[in-house]
Amino acid sequence: MNQTTSKRNPKWHRDEIILALDLYFKLEPGQIHGRNPAVIELSEVINRLPIFDIRPDAEKFRNPNGVGLKLSNFLAIDPNYHGKGMESFSKLDQAVFYEFNHKREELSRIANTIRQTVSNPQLRLKLYEIQEEPEEELLEFREGRVLYKLHKYKERDSKLVLLKKTQHLKKYGSLDCESCDFNFQVKYGDLGKGYIECHHQVPLYQYEGIQQTRLDDLALVCSNCHRMLHRGMDTLSLEELRKLAFITP
């Protein structure tokens, strides 16, 4: 059997690149190698990401040397570096580099939130269990896939959802979509009674660390609006969605 072709690890994922780039910006070129403790630590963090459960070559998967090589890819991309880097970078490495080159603080916040998420073993397991729809798998999220899963996990917290609905019912008397005013009970009668979905409105990296979800962070929306909000996750607020759908306030 041909070992070399059957044991290829998957390409680097956006989340992994985000973490690597964040470290790259904190290191001097001479510190980029697999023996640097910061590179070894990053290798451990990346191995804990709930992204790839199939690792054809588990031993080599994102090991310190591999992580060091990925950081050297950024040397080759970085216009401020005039030495030689590793030219074998991907289009995605390059795209993520330029996306955050002048937004390093935001990059750090995203990277830190991903790190905190995977440092909690229970939370990490829960995120492994979050299934994504086929069409969601095609979407790219600025915050990456781990924080998208965390978003889904937070808005599916059944206790919290119940609290939110109860609070909303008390205040407004009905469960209308906060974006398009659709009401499941009005449309479907008893079948739709009490049905509405919850959407977490605040990008998770904007918090300092991982926080308990506040009821105000959640909005009640119908399934259509919820899908659309997720498709435009990085840019779309409830108000903007209303405008798109020509709904006047």
Stretch binding Zn ion (CB under 5 A), from 21-29, 120-128, 179-187, 188-196 = 179-187
Q: How far is the CB of 197 from Zn ion (least distance, A)?
A: 7
Stretch binding Zn ion (CB under 5 A), from 15-23, 103-111, 184-192, 215-223 = 215-223
Contact in structure between 34 and 65 (CB atoms under 8 Å): yes
**Closest residue by Cα to residue 96 from 84, 86, 111, 115:** 111
Stretch binding Zn ion (CB under 5 A), from 35-43, 62-70, 109-117, 195-203 = 195-203
* Token couple for 204: 């998770």
Q: By CB under 5 A, name the one of 182, 196, 218, 220 that touches Zn ion.
A: 182
Q: By CB under 5 A, name the one of 70, 145, 168, 199 that touches Zn ion.
A: 199
Q: How far is the CB of 109 from Zn ion (least distance, A)?
A: 20
Residue 179 is a binding residue for Zn ion (CB under 5 A): yes
Q: By CB under 5 A, name the one of 180, 202, 236, 238 that touches Zn ion.
A: 180
Cβ-Cβ contacts under 8 Å for 119 (sequence gap 6 or more): 45, 48
Contact in structure between 181 and 242 (CB atoms under 8 Å): no
Beta bridge partners of 218: 200
Q: What proportions of the chain, in percent to the nearest 5, are helix, strand and coil?
A: 55, 5, 40
Contact in structure between 215 and 163 (CB atoms under 8 Å): yes
Output b/e per residue, 74-112; b: 16+ Cβ within 10 A: bbbbbeeeeeebbeebeeebeebbebbbeeeebbbbbbb
Residue 225 is a binding residue for Zn ion (CB under 5 A): yes
Q: Convert residues 82-101 into a mask of x (bound to Zn ion by CB under 5 A) and - (unbound).
A: --------------------
Stretch binding Zn ion (CB under 5 A), from 19-27, 51-59, 105-113, 175-183 = 175-183
Q: How far is the CB of 209 from Zn ion (least distance, A)?
A: 20
Cβ-Cβ contacts under 8 Å for 136 (sequence gap 6 or more): 230
Quick one: 70 or 154, whose CB is closer to Zn ion? 154
Residue 53 CA to residue 35 CA, distance in Å, equals 26
* Token couple for 111: 């990277």
Quick one: 146 or 225, whose CB is closer to Zn ion? 225
Q: Roughly how many angstroms between the first and final C-alpha of the chain, as a whole number?
A: 65
Residue 39 is a binding residue for Zn ion (CB under 5 A): no
Quick one: 13 or 227, whose CB is closer to Zn ion? 227
Residue 177 is a binding residue for Zn ion (CB under 5 A): yes
Stretch binding Zn ion (CB under 5 A), from 9-17, 104-112, 128-136, 147-155 = 147-155
Quick one: 168 or 199, whose CB is closer to Zn ion? 199
Residues forming the site for Zn ion (CB under 5 A): 155, 177, 179-180, 182, 199, 222, 225
